Every structure is written in structure tokens, then in C-alpha cells.
Amino acid sequence: MDFKSARREAANQAETNNRLKEQLKDYSHKINLYKIETEDLIKQIDLADAKTREKEDEVRLCEAEYDRKLKLQEERILMRRSKTEERGTYELKREHAMQLDELKHKLAEKDEETDYYKTKCEKLETETQSLRTGKADNKKVRELENELEMLRVQLREGDTSGGAGFSSGGASSAAQAN
């Protein structure tokens, strides 16, 4: 029995060895499959990392482009504002220049009118003086003195009110007296 039991034990151990060899082959095969699967997953991870880096680069480029466009837009807005302010300043300067020219023109007209009335007064004073010295007609002298006084009043009113007192009636009566 010893021999049979040793044989049985040897057969059992051989069977156990065979079974363990099969399990070892299965485990080796599974390990190889895991290695292949792991390498595939590593490749997928590397590929995903590369795509992520590409997308990050694209995002950086897009952000830089957006920042550049934003800066350009801000510059355009500032340029428009400054142009509008310059236009407003230019218009204001132009209006002031036109008003100044208009006032200078009015002043020149008033100066001419004042000079005219002054020369007229001087002429009438000399005529009155010559008539007084010549002992001419008193009626004519009084008319000339009245006209002279009226012109002086108009001249004073014109000086105080900017020439509003000058009227064509005074000039026409002076022309009638001559």
C-alpha cells in the first residue's frame, strides 16, 4: 500500500503541479493582458495630455487675441472721445472767432459813425463860429446851434449805448441845414 499510496500521492502532486502550472500560465497570461491594457491606458493618457496641452495653448492664444482686441477697442473708444472733445473745442473756438470778428466789425462801424459825427460837429462848429463872427442871420445861427446840440446829444448817447442813439433823422436834418 505504500507503493499505491505513494503513487497516488505522486499522481495527486503531479495533478496539483499541473493545475498550479495552468494557474501560473493563466496568471501570466492575465498579467501580460494587464500589461498590454496598462500600456494602452498610458498611451491614452499621454495622448489626452498632449491634447490638453494643445487646448491650453489654444486657450492662451485665444486669451491673447481677446486681450489684444479688447485693448484695440479701448483705444478706439478713447480716440473717439478725444476726437469728439477736439471737435467740440474746435467748434467753440470757431464760434468765438466768429463772434470776435462780428464785434470787431461792429466796433469799426461805430468808430466810423462816431468819426463822421465828430467831423460833422466840427464842421458845424466852424460854420457857426464863422457865422457868429460874420454877424449873419441869427435864425440860421440858432438852427445850426440846435442842430449842433442835437448831434452832440446823439454822439453822447451813441458813446454810452454803443451807438444806438444815432439816427438817420439827425443826419438828414444836418444835411437840410447845409
Tell me the pLDDT tens digit for each residue of 42-85: 999 999 999 999 999 999 999 999 999 999 999 999 999 999 99
Tell me the pLDDT tens digit for each residue of 10-21: 888 889 999 999
Give the CA angle between residues 148, 152, 157 to the nearest 5°: 150
At 165 the pLDDT is: 43
Contacts of 88 (CB under 8 A, 6+ apart): none
Closest to 149 in 3D by CA, of 173, 118, 121: 121
The structure's pTM equals: 0.39
At 155 the pLDDT is: 79
Give residue 139's identity as a one-letter amino acid code: K
